[in-house]
Amino acid sequence: MIFEFSNDPLASASPDAALAFLSFEDALVPPEIGHSQGPLREVIDRALSRSRFKGALGQFIDIIAPCGTSAARILLVGCGAKAGLAELGIERAAADAYRRVHATGATILELRFDPACAKDAAAMAFGVQLAAYRFDKYRTSEKSEKKPSISFTRIVSAEPETAGAAFQQALPLADAIYFCRDQVSEPPNILYPTEFARRIQGLDLPGMEVEVLGEDAMRQLGMNALLGVGQGSSRRSQLVVMQWNGGRTEDPPMAFVGKGVCYDSGGLSIKPAKSMAEMKWDMGGAAVVAGLLHALARGKVHANVVGILGLVENMPDGNAQRPGDVVTSMSGQTIEVVDTDAEGRLVLADALWYCQQRFKPRLMIDVATLTGAVEIALGQEFAGLFSNDDALADRLLRAATLEGEKLWRLPLAAALEKLIESPVADVKNYGGPEGGAITAALFLQRFVNGCPWAHLDVAGTTWQSTSSLPTVPDGATGFGVRILHRLVTDYYGGAVSRSDAPHAHTWTC
């Protein structure tokens, strides 16, 4: 996609353009149309009088442009009330405009919102970029009417240069969301632990340090909980450690730990066929953490951040872990593995312990497609948030609101600890279906050693077969990258390094 910021709406005159106006409940007709006379005004008045369009969020008018207008179609995109419209609303309106016309044959999308300040204009471009994501590398043919036709987005703003600079600043985050979605979309025969690690090592991110621990190194460290999960697979387990040290040397890092189960068959506690097909995206947490580090390094953010990815494949074979096995984790705590399908917490137990031991982080956040139970509790729009630290939980909730990704805090209910007590070991890895997301979080809490910690259970939000947000195409969502990126940058007061303001007006993404 090519983006252009311009202060000259007339220059767009193109027979292939879709012209999108933002429309509000309290200002239905965009001012530049309201003040004009002629066929465009007439056709819009007619459309408004013969439809139920009231400018509400999600409402839409798409009309073929009248003779004499040098555009293919005219769109009115409902945004709700004008007062209180935040950047997020503008971003979504632009994304919605793209989504509605992206395969209509129109080749140019011109977005007009009067007056679009630089931030609004950049938010529109960001929304279109997120909406334009596709994962089509394995398609060898596609019906031409399904192919996206829009390849150029033009945004009218009184401040095109500042808008370009603001968009440039937001691009690392968009790229990171693309990277995250790409990894989650990959099939499990292509993206297995060593391949995932290889891709992280291959990223061209100056200043990013990447280490990969293989099975021998992990065995020496005593990571038997993680290794037990991978032992039934012919693919080798990996622990990837990413470090972005953009902050002051003495500053303790923020740490992020991702569940990277590249395929979760359930192991010997094998899953039914229907739920197995989804389990290629059980590495979604690791993809979010990798995406976050990607964005921070690209954006040269002034913060010290560690990302740890626990990469395994959970498979049944003659060497696989058995329900009934007892493993000794790196922390020294013993775990009775009563269900080999509750594998994510075993991987995280060692990854979290290793993380706090080695880095002494100021805070630690894990991201994991951990339980089906969280999806039963909260559905697909909210991810579950657990934390042993109220201030951290509040920061995350605030970041989530600002970024339009929803979190809901659930309790680390001590009363449920008894469900994971084991008759033979210190703890067991599954406590039954009641409070399933909570007992999983309680299990993790035993491995954070008192460090300020939060756990995001993203099992319901990582993949959407039918997405409800225009900025999120169906499939891999990238949910979580924005929240964590906002958390890190806000923690340091928006400490993004400012590169020289770019002079370009067009951006190829």
Size (the chain), residues? 509
Residue number with CB closer to ligand BES (91 or 282): 282
Residue number with CB closer to Mn ion (20 or 261): 261
**CA–CA distance, 5 with 111 (Å, rounded to integer):** 10
The angle at the Cα of 220, spanning 218 to 224, to the nearest 5 degrees, equals 55
Q: Is 226 in the site for Zn ion (CB under 5 A)?
A: no
Least distance between ligand BES and beta carbon 99 (Å): 25
Pairing of strands 73-78, 60-64: antiparallel
Residue nearest to Zn ion (CB): 264
Interaction pattern, residues 430-459, with ligand BES; x per rule: CB under 6 A: x-----x----------------------x
Q: Is 343 in the site for ligand BES (CB under 6 A)?
A: yes
Per-residue burial over 371-395, b if 16 or more Cβ lie within 10 Å, else e, is bebbbebbebebbbbbbbeeebbeb
Q: According to CB under 5 A, which one of 344, 384, 436, 470 is a site residue for Zn ion?
A: 344
Q: Is 375 in the site for Mn ion (CB under 5 A)?
A: no
The angle at the Cα of 75, spanning 72 to 78, to the nearest 5 degrees, equals 175
Q: Which of residues 458-497 bind ligand BES (CB under 6 A)?
A: 459
Residue number with CB closer to Mn ion (61 or 374): 374
Q: Which residues are catalytic?
A: 271, 345
CA 98, 101, 103, 107 torsion: positive or negative?
negative
457 binds, among Zn ion, ligand BES, Mn ion, none (CB under 5 to 8 A by kind): none
180, burial (CB in 10 Å: exposed 0-12, middle 13-18, buried 19+) = buried
Q: Is 229 in the site for Zn ion (CB under 5 A)?
A: no
Residue number with CB closer to Zn ion (344 or 435): 344
The angle at the Cα of 404, spanning 398 to 407, to the nearest 5 degrees, equals 60
Residue number with CB closer to ligand BES (58 or 324): 324
Q: Is 264 in the site for Mn ion (CB under 5 A)?
A: yes
Q: Which stretch binds Mn ion (CB under 5 A): 108-116, 261-269, 319-327, 372-380?
A: 261-269
Three-class SS state of 303? coil
Q: Is 264 in the site for Zn ion (CB under 5 A)?
A: yes
**CA–CA distance, 83 with 384 (Å, rounded to integer):** 31
Q: Is 4 in the site for Zn ion (CB under 5 A)?
A: no
Q: Is 265 in the site for ligand BES (CB under 6 A)?
A: no
Q: Is 91 in the site for Mn ion (CB under 5 A)?
A: no
Is residue 444 within 8 A of residue 451, CB to CB? The reply is no
Q: Is 159 in the site for ligand BES (CB under 6 A)?
A: no
Residue nearest to Mn ion (CB): 341
Residue number with CB closer to Zn ion (55 or 266): 266
- Residue 430: what residue type? Y
* CA nearest neighbour of 171 among 485, 438, 391: 485
Q: Which stretch binds Mn ion (CB under 5 A): 153-161, 191-199, 204-212, 341-349?
A: 341-349
Least distance between ligand BES and beta carbon 258 (Å): 13
Least distance between ligand BES and beta carbon 41 (Å): 51
**CA–CA distance, 38 with 2 (Å, rounded to integer):** 31
Residue number with CB closer to ligand BES (228 or 344): 344
Residue number with CB closer to ligand BES (406 or 505): 406
Least distance between ligand BES and beta carbon 314 (Å): 7
Q: Is 287 in the site for ligand BES (CB under 6 A)?
A: no
* CA nearest neighbour of 61 among 48, 72, 80: 48
Is residue 273 within 8 A of residue 325, CB to CB? The reply is no
Q: Is 200 in the site for ligand BES (CB under 6 A)?
A: no
* CA nearest neighbour of 114 among 68, 79, 67, 166: 79
Pairing of strands 334-336, 326-328: antiparallel
The enclosing H or E element of 387 equals strand 382-387
- 25: Cα separation from own chain's centroid: 31
Whether cis (ω within 30° of 0) applies to the bond prior to 115 is: yes
Pairing of strands 363-368, 254-264: parallel
Q: According to CB under 6 A, which one of 12, 304, 369, 445 is a site residue for ligand BES?
A: 369
**CA–CA distance, 151 with 502 (Å, rounded to integer):** 22
Least distance between Mn ion and beta carbon 341 (Å): 4
Q: According to CB under 6 A, which one of 373, 385, 454, 456 is a site residue for ligand BES?
A: 373
Residue nearest to ligand BES (CB): 372
**CA–CA distance, 179 with 94 (Å, rounded to integer):** 22
Binding positions for Mn ion, rule: CB under 5 A: 264, 341, 343
Binding positions for ligand BES, rule: CB under 6 A: 264, 278, 282, 339, 341-344, 369, 371-373, 430, 436, 459
Binding positions for Zn ion, rule: CB under 5 A: 261, 264, 282, 344
